[in-house]
Amino acid sequence: MTTITAKIPNAKDVKIFKDLLERFGIPYTIDEESTQGYVFTDAQMADFEQSKQEFVDGKTTAKSWDDIKKNLESVYP
């Protein structure tokens, strides 16, 4: 077995490489460097956008520090 390590700076290129590897039936693993930070899920991004729009529309106020802290602790335990 041969292991190849490549550093791919562009997230779009990662998808292309994954598709290529899958097409050829080559098993792979992806190790993301911790320097990239936390990657938000689509659901988390949608929730953020909804909260932002509700704030802009005046339907809600800014979150308290306790709520923000609780959300951060769920991401960075």
Res. 68 pLDDT band, cuts 50 70 90: confident
Q: Is 65's pLDDT higher than 70?
A: yes
Any domain includes 18 = yes
Any domain includes 61 = yes
**Mean pLDDT of all residues in 46-73:** 84
Any domain includes 4 = no
Overall number of domains in the chain: 1
Residue range of the domain that includes 67: 11-75
Any domain includes 54 = yes
pLDDT digits (tens, 9 = 90+) for 5-52: 888 888 888 889 889 999 999 988 887 765 556 778 888 889 889 988
Any domain includes 28 = yes
DSSP state string for 28-75: ------GGG-PPPPHHHHHHHHHHHHHHHTTSS-PPPHHHHHHHHHHH
Any domain includes 63 = yes
Any domain includes 30 = yes
